[in-house]
A and B are shown apart, each in its own frame.
Chain A
């Protein structure tokens, strides 16, 4: 076999050098040493020494309410629509054009349905900041869920998110929030420069907001496409502090008087996802 030429050896040597340098840089970057903190954990005094304690980051979110059941009923014949909310509100859309909103007592258009007073209560129960999103499966559109003809301005089947500081739903493991949650996204939360809870209706991450809810939320039409509720895939504004770590997801459904009363139970399922940098 002919001996390799000097030129070939030189090229291979340069390749080997390049690979070695790249490997070193990748390893250093992976270890977080390129920020200049090569000696993290080193003692700074010879007198007392230093004790190191590692606290593992735990990503955990819990839901304290697993069912929103509006029960069984029908729309009063004197009404065009009846609307129900998981925050205990009923709206009567009378045939004569008047609309009234009420709690359980005095509702007229939603006959024999169940009063629902609790939405899905989400709480950051880990020790690291999170972003939160949701997905819907099943009959996630008004036409699939209820059917019938809606007025042009009606969403029909809607979802909203409200910080529990505003919503005040009981059941948080760490006590009810005393401050707004999901703050601090600020300019980091997509291009909208918003903070607080949001439902990005146009796209899952960034993009124009279309009827988004902020703070004590605005209803957005539910769809089978999931959306972010707080933060996104790279920004995690929901803190783990017990004083500001929760929100409530409420559902609103509007039933037209011409919706078919089949007697068949219909449903959809919401699944939430929590992401952290840990």
Chain B
């Protein structure tokens, strides 16, 4: 009914955006969005905190053969 009236009154129809252009725009939006998410997720804020390592140091010992029984008796 509205369409009929519009046609009768000579109202020009709105031009439709070509479907191919819409398709390209949508694909671009998707690609940019995915790129944005990937960029955000790989930012340092999302990474697990990395530990800092420091050297505590070395624990050492040297076990030497005990002196012979004769030596021990002499020493004592």
Interface string of B18-58 (1 = CB under 8 A from A): 11101100110110011011001101011011111111111
Q: Which interface residue of B18, B27, B46, B49 has the most chain A CB atoms within 10 A? A: B49
Whether A276 lies near B49 (C-beta < 8 A) is yes
Contacts of A212 in B (CB 8 A): none
8 Å CB contact of B54 from A61, A249, A263, A277: A61
**Number of chain A interface residues as a range:** 35 or more
- Name the residue of chain B whose CB is nearest to the CB of A268: B59
The listed residue (B37, B45, B57) touching A23 by CB distance below 8 A is B37
- Whether a CB of chain A sits under 8 angstroms from the CB of B4 is no
Residue B10, interface by CB 8 Å: no
Q: Is B74 an interface residue (CB 8 A)?
A: no
Interface size for B (C-beta < 8 A) is 39
Q: Are B60 and A266 in contact (CB under 8 A)?
A: yes
Stretch at the interface among A43-51, A72-80, A174-182, A186-194: A72-80
Q: Does any Cβ of A come within 8 Å of B5's Cβ?
A: no
Within 8 A of B (CB), among A135-184: 145-146
Which residues of A are interface residues toward B (Cβ below 8 A)? Answer: 1, 3-4, 8-9, 12-13, 15-16, 19-20, 22-23, 26-27, 30, 59-63, 65-77, 86, 111, 113, 120, 122, 133-134, 145-146, 233, 249, 251, 253, 255, 259-278
Having A68-B60, A274-B54, one finds 18 other A-B pairs with CB under 8 Å, namely: A4-B20, A4-B23, A12-B30, A23-B40, A27-B36, A27-B40, A68-B59, A69-B61, A72-B63, A74-B63, A76-B66, A122-B56, A266-B62, A269-B59, A270-B57, A272-B54, A272-B55, A275-B52
